Chains A and B, each alone.
Chain A
Amino acid sequence: MSSLDPVLMSRVLTGLTLFVHIVLATIGVGIPVMLALAEWRGIHTGDGHYTLLARRWARGYVITVAVGVVTGTAIGLQLSLLWPTFMRVAGKAIALPLFLETFAFFVEAIFLGIYLYTWDRFKSKYTHLLLLIPVAIGASFSAIFITSMNAFMNQPQGFELVGGVFTNVNPFVAMFNPATPTKVSHVLASAYTTSAAALASIAAYSLLRGNKHTYFKKALKLTVISTFVFAVATVMIGDFSGKFLAKYQPEKLAAMEWHFETMKEAPLIYGGVLDENRDIKYALKIPYALSILAGNRPDTEVIGLNEFPEDEQPPLMIHYFFDLKVTNGVLLVAIPLLYMFRKWLPGKKAYPKWLLIGILALGPMALVAIWLGWFLAEVGRQPWILRGYMKVADAATTSPNVGWMLLLFILLYLVLSVSAIRVLTKLFRNKNAEEELAMLGLNSKGGSGQ
């Protein structure tokens, strides 16, 4: 075990931790917004169903936050444990967003604690709802700061590198680098989408299991329409990201699209395979689309991968990540759209089974899109850890024990994931929504709430 390459092991372990953490982080950012939406509707319309919805979501949310906090702690410490050289050099430029992130996290932690334990403590119902504002702001700002740090790794600026040491550092220029706006907005929008989609999946699952109560239909409507709105925003921002890449990281865009020769009127490649001569087979070619993606005009010149030295080219498999991610993105818009036009669909049922199955798939699809998006962004900047300045191989720890730690963490994440899923399913089974509705006297169709 100890003879294995520490660089590779460090990469695998960091990737694994992020793979687990990103799910929880995404949910952590998005769910407070959905909670606020449901609770606000509950208070505003006096409909107790929505309030119950918020309560039930909040209960599950705590579990995901708890596991999210610990995986977040893990990645925070692993930055120094696995990449000490990187932190020593780049720490001088990126400490600010990291530090800011802890404050945002602090605010979120404090107010989430208060929110969860004060459902019936305030006279005005709005006071409790207001507690969600700092939770949502804290969560979103954590994402903003941490993403700006990642943007810096893709697009470093705001310093001079003299003999391996960062000098003349300007922390704000480093933080607000060209990659920050598109990355941050894409991360936020996709987090909101994924959370709404995951909750839509839960609602669809209840309806598929034969629960006919109007409570589930309201949940479905709220979550699916939210998914639609957020997904449209995500797709639009995704388009800006394409233009950003064309301008600032052309090698990533070129590798994503298997675009080897610099040319105008570049086609977009969907699917396909490469042979050993880098010829593309069985792919769907959409003429001009890549040029339009890169610069909004069919005659935009798109830089090809051949312009870059071979040891600085990202791996070509990211093409598949991109294709799959975009496919999921399109479905995340299309399925909610079908739901919104369900009355005009052929057939007599208001909620056809195939549509519910489609909605059930929204959550997993959004999640897969998140994973693919991060694989694409991170694998796509290989071999760099700090693009243009430091290669991954020079940044990792030299400790021979990384392999063993990798094993330990694999075990840990397995135990955590299995336990979390078990606890979450048990939580909702033990106290099912219909019993709770009955307990609160909310069984009437309108559900007046009092």
Chain B
Amino acid sequence: MMSYELIGISVLWLFLYGYLIIASIDFGAGFFAFYARLTKQDHLINRLISRYLSPVWEITNVFFIFFYIGIVGFFPDTAYYYGSALLVPGSIAVILLAIRGSFYAFENYGSKKNIVYLFLYGATGLLIPASLSVALTLSEGGFIVKQGETVSLDYWALFTNPLSWSIVGLAIVSVLFISGSFLTFYASRAEDHSALKLMRNYALFWSTPTIILALTAFIYLGQHNERHFQNMMDLWWLLALSVAFFMIAMWLLYNGRRYGLAFICIMLQFFSAFFAYGIGQYPYILDPYITIQSSATSPSMGFALVVVFIGGLCLLIPSLILVFRLFLFDADYVKGKK
């Protein structure tokens, strides 16, 4: 029997992965929409992007809130440490999310063709993953300092450490890579050949920096947190699997076939890497202050949360399937006939 805190962290990690994928699609799409407008190619892809994004942008946001509430609920100590340390970066992330969410709605439902709105939307799409990835860096330890009862963030250590910059870089390029390959798939479903060509180029272009920065971040992790690095090395087969999926995806994209399968491979690539990273960090949530066991909420609350979670999933999964069937896999809708 798994303990509830282990169920809790596994579920939350799964949700964070879910957020990583769908938010990447969303953030990247915003940037591509803006970039295409700048390079006067927007007529090729804007309709495609807005057809996909319009019904789902709100769901993306819920994934994020779900993860955040879940981790605070299962592990209240995280609220204390991360909350105290992250006041500034956290507030900035909130402000960016706010600008992005509302200006998306203003652009799409309100006044069309406002380049300022589109710029805000596109630029925040890259800044948000950068600011959110700071939390991952912090979990490695050495950046959050506790003196007496005061918890604070050591900005100097954070900004001078190559690990933080490589994680930020990895976050940005992964967003563009994931988003580009998803939109390639979506364009192929829509049989929109000009958009397909453009998006395929974007996806191929961003694949190289993604794999390079993933390696860089991994090396710097080894220098910063030996324990985490060793644990991940023990999970070498997961990392090897990740690279293999990446190769398959590249081969498919390059040869221009089976874009759906290519995107699934990319999802699996990130899935195995992300879980190798997460399992390697066990048992810490924040090295060395918070472990999964030390910070868990009371057993009765943990049990209640797990029950609610299972009940909630019974509601969520059918609803999500409905959304996908209506907007993602309905060929007529994707092509713009509905």
Contacts and interface: CB of A to CB of B under 8 A. Distances in A.
A106 B152 contact: no
A420 to B, nearest CB: 7
Nearest to B316: A106
A113 B58 contact: yes
Contacts of B54: 113, 116-117
B55 A117 contact: yes
Interface string B47-66: 00000001110110110111
A254 to B, nearest CB: 34
Contacts of A398: 84, 149-150
Contacts of A306: none
A102 B62 contact: yes
Interface in B206-255: none
B98 A412 contact: yes
Contacts of B83: 80-84, 87, 397
A401 B311 CA distance: 40
A95 interface: yes
Interface in B83-103: 83-84, 86-88, 90-95, 97-99, 101-103
B305 A95 contact: yes
A92 B312 contact: no
A70 interface: yes
A121 B338 contact: yes
A165 to B, nearest CB: 9
A78 B76 CA distance: 15
Interface stretch (B29-37, B165-173, B322-330): B322-330
B72 interface: yes
Contact of B68 (A77, A111, A399): A77
Interface string A94-111: 011011111101110111
Contact of A92 (B59, B66, B76, B95): B76
A426 B110 contact: yes
Nearest to A419: B106
A93 B301 contact: yes
Contacts of B263: none
The prevalent SS among residues of A at the interface is helix
B145 interface: no
Interface stretch (A169-177, A187-195, A296-304, A440-448): A169-177
Interface in A60-79: 62-63, 65-67, 69-74, 76-79
B61 A91 contact: no
Nearest to B296: A92
Interface residues of B, number: 68
A77 B312 contact: no
Given A84-B80, A99-B309, A74 B94 contact: yes
Given A76-B69, A96-B308, A408-B95, A109 B301 contact: no
B301 A66 contact: no
A47 to B, nearest CB: 26
The prevalent SS among residues of B at the interface is helix
A88 interface: yes
B156 interface: no
Interface residues of A, number: 74
Contacts of A426: 110-111
Contacts of B91: 77-78, 81, 405, 408-409
B94 A106 contact: no
A74 B297 CA distance: 24
Interface in A114-162: 114, 116-118, 121, 134
Contacts of A402: 87
Given A78-B94, A88-B79, A107-B319, A96 B305 contact: yes
A427 interface: yes
23 contacts: A67-B105, A69-B58, A71-B98, A74-B98, A77-B90, A77-B91, A79-B72, A84-B81, A84-B151, A91-B297, A103-B312, A103-B316, A106-B319, A110-B322, A113-B56, A114-B322, A117-B55, A117-B327, A399-B152, A401-B87, A405-B88, A420-B102, A423-B111
Interface of A: 59, 62-63, 65-67, 69-74, 76-85, 87-89, 91-93, 95-96, 98-103, 105-107, 109-114, 116-118, 121, 134, 166-172, 397-399, 401-402, 404-405, 408-409, 412, 416, 419-420, 423-424, 426-427
